[in-house]
Chain A
Amino acid sequence: MKSRYSSMRASWSRNRIVTKAISVFCVAAMGLAVAVVPAATQASASGKTNINYWFWGESDIPGMTKWMQQRIAMYEKLNPSVSITLVPQSNTTIISSFQLASQSKTGPDVDTQWATLPTLLPALQGDVTPISNYVSKSEMSHWLNTNENTIGSNVYAMPLYLIGVPLVWNKKLFAKAGLNPNVGPTTWTQFLADCAALKKHGITPMGMGNQDGYFGAWMFAIYEKQILNSISQLTQGVANVGSSQAQLLSSLKTMYTMFANLISSGYVNSNVESLSLNQGWQLFPQGKAAMSITTDGNVLSWAKSVGEANVGVTRPPIWGTGKLASTYDTTQSSDEFLASWSSNKAAAAKFLVFLHSTANMVALNKETGAFPADNRFPTSYITDPLAKALDKLDTSGTSIWLENDIPPQIDSNADLPAGQLITSGSGTPAAAVALWKQQLQKWQLQQPTQYSLFKKWATGA
């Protein structure tokens, strides 16, 4: 009994030692925390303005991040009191990471987002401060495509570059199929005739990929637009205003029927559903497909492997008869904006304006081949004939990229999978439209606040 009691006492004293050790550890940890917090505060109290920049652009324009890093280094040298931290973002988290940041009102001072609704929806929720509050009208008058991010008199974001989406064709393969190599198809009838001729000669007419759903989304952006008379036909349909949704769904059915015919005719590579858009595009520079719908940057890059003399570009063939059918498909793709919670908005806006200086815009074009979204950029710098042709397409006339005008949730849950139903042959155009309808209803139920803000925006209320 005595021995048990003494062992109990021993364990008690061991426990005391452990308790003491834990207490010492906790006190030490708290002390460390107290010591570190003022250090962090001192960093910002040292007089330096810290700008946190969540940046995206590499997927659109290879070399973009390097260009941005160089600009930041230059700016910090010119302004020693400013420190800019660049945080590259990925395609899959670009929207969700800003959503999370806006819940805690912490994170970036400047954020990159895809244009129009991915930018305007957070703006309507009060998470974005109009850049027009900090930048003069005369400066903004030089920026191109600002209409993509404007509500009323407020411009919410700054564009950096423009991306056009042309149809590119391989002149060699056209000649092989007995087609005129110097004339690309401009109407849908011509396009189908060219496809038939190419297929007859064992050449895959179009090289695309839809494993990620983006080929379908591009068909929506280019060809659904061609049925519409105005963008509000789409936005009001999405917002379910009056009978507009029924009309929208009917026009979608027409578009998906055309798309399904294109697939069933065998005019697109047979493995379109198991290749991502990027993988599908590679069929063109490999000489395995005669045509593709792609970006300016890809055309210039592919011209190096196929030979510039063998590459032709034109606008995507016109299929629809709506008033928007004649518009081109250029977008700023992504934009830069100021987070509403940032305490360094003025300094951040000053840096963004610096990016638009002529020297920086020239450097952007020189280093990445991208077309700057600024009319001060001297087009004399574009000497390559193919680049000139692309720039001409991008800057002449009105441009609309329709995918920007649907809420991101509808884009990823309805637009992308509906196209996959068509390319995989697992669904009819009616099934694709039913998916749109179901997802529109789900969005309305699941995001009531976003829906009501969108409806206000769509109706101009």
Chain B
Amino acid sequence: MSSASATLDSGRPPAAAPKTRKVRRRRQWWPLGYMAPVLVMLALVFGYSFFEVVHYSFYAGSIGSLVWVGTANYRELATDPQFIHSMFNNFKLLLTVPVVTVLALAIALMINTSFRGVRHYRAILFLPYILPATAMGLSFSYLLQGNGVLDALLTRLHLGFLIHDWLGSPSWVMFSIGGVIVWQQLGFGVVVFSAALLAVPAETVEAARIDGANWWVVQRRILIPQIRRIIEFFVILQAIIVLSSVFTYVYVLTGGGPAYSSSVMEFYIYQNGFENGSIGIASAGAVVLLLIASVFIALYLWVRIRAAKDQH
């Protein structure tokens, strides 16, 4: 009789088995042990903050004089024209995502061939991305203000009919902010796509060329499908940025004005939480923003998991 069958018969594991299982179980917990300090830090920094934000969203007043109001802040958000307008402005800015993606991809494909000074071109294209927001905001406010540099240029070019108060007109202000976002994010897109294109095996392109594929077919049928996962990743990342990281553009360029016309959710949260000291409504706004951003974060994770599976 084998030892295994003896074990089954007696209902007891063999003498060596508990030790092995113990060690195995202990080994399963080790990684968690190593990660524990970081997990504790994350729980403190993000978990605690998250809990507090949700907790405060049920109160009115400032810290020190909080009053429980239940879900009143959420109901207030649903009827507050400034919040609704801010949310729609965030959605309007989502339109910059396809623009940035298409432009960045087109430029990346164009500079994908090695020619003299290609690195310099890439550096120049990336430059706006690393510019400080304050410098960028000041420059664009001079450029876009009514009778500013852009309007003066349009006048000289006899295009006076195009003159607008780009930052002062509620009809144009979101286009102006969107334009600045496209200008700054473009360089990042070009760098991401260029890096992905460089990773495409040269043999694949070579084989297509031997089969008679022209430049356009190589781009459309070979290169773009090869970097599809990176494009998906970039689109979702940009959508998250446009939803939850455009405060700087708005704050520096327009301060949310004129009359809230360029306010976004982050600006609304900042104004209520930090300028007015109304921590409750600001927290409720933050929770709503988190929920909307979560949809895109989930999409982002799904794309990454899918990309990882593809690689395997």
Contact = CB atoms under 8 A, between A and B. Distances in A.
Q: A and B bound? A: yes
B65 A211 contact: no
Contacts of A210: 258
B74 to A, nearest CB: 13
Given A448-B60, A449-B65, A270 B258 contact: no
A421 interface: yes
B258 A424 contact: yes
Contacts of A418: 259
Interface stretch (B95-103, B177-185, B275-283): B275-283
Interface stretch (A47-55, A71-79, A224-232, A271-279): A271-279
B112 interface: no
A420 B263 CA distance: 13
Interface string A410-427: 001100011011011011
Interface string A91-135: 000011001001100000000000000000000010000000000
Contacts of B294: none
B62 A424 contact: no
B310 to A, nearest CB: 34
A420 B258 contact: yes
B147 interface: yes
A56 B61 CA distance: 26
Nearest to B79: A438
Contact of A446 (B171, B257, B280): B280
A274 B259 contact: no
Interface string A185-227: 0000000000000000000000000111100000000000000
User: Size band of the A side of the interface?
Assistant: 35 or more
B63 interface: yes
A442 B76 contact: yes
A447 B146 contact: no
A300 interface: no
B interface bracket (residues with beta carbon within 8 Å of A):
35 or more
Interface stretch (B113-121, B160-168, B232-240): B160-168
Contacts of A102: 64
Nearest to A424: B258
A450 B276 CA distance: 11
Interface string A273-291: 1110000000000000000
A35 interface: no
B144 interface: yes
A45 interface: no
B275 A211 contact: no
Interface string B40-64: 0000000000000000000011111
A409 interface: yes
Contacts of B61: 446-450
Interface string A221-258: 00000000000000000000000000000000000000
B14 interface: no
Contacts of A427: 259
Interface of A is mostly: helix
Kindly name the residue among B65, B144, B145, B277 whose own CB sees the greatest number of chain A CB atoms within 10 A.
B277
Contacts of A448: 60-61, 67
A446 B259 contact: no
A87 B231 CA distance: 49
B77 to A, nearest CB: 11
A99 B62 contact: yes
Contacts of B274: 96
B29 to A, nearest CB: 13
Do most interface residues of chain B lie in helix, strand or loop, or is the interface mixed? loop
Contacts of B128: none
Given A270-B147, A446-B61, A446-B281, A423 B275 contact: no
B67 A449 contact: yes
A211 B170 contact: no
A272 B165 CA distance: 9
A210 B276 CA distance: 21
B72 A274 contact: no
Contacts of A213: 257
Nearest to A444: B60
A409 B276 contact: yes
Contacts of A426: 169-171, 258-259, 261
A417 B275 CA distance: 15
B81 interface: yes
B276 A274 contact: no
A445 interface: yes
A306 interface: no
Contacts of B141: 274
Nearest to B282: A446
Interface in B224-262: 254-255, 257-261
A435 interface: yes
Given A211-B257, A426-B261, A438-B81, A274 B278 contact: no
Interface of A: 95-96, 99, 102-103, 125, 210-213, 270-275, 408-409, 412-413, 417-418, 420-421, 423-424, 426-427, 435, 438, 442, 445-450
Given A413-B271, A447-B276, 11 more contacts: A99-B62, A211-B167, A270-B146, A271-B148, A273-B169, A273-B258, A412-B271, A412-B276, A417-B260, A442-B80, A449-B62
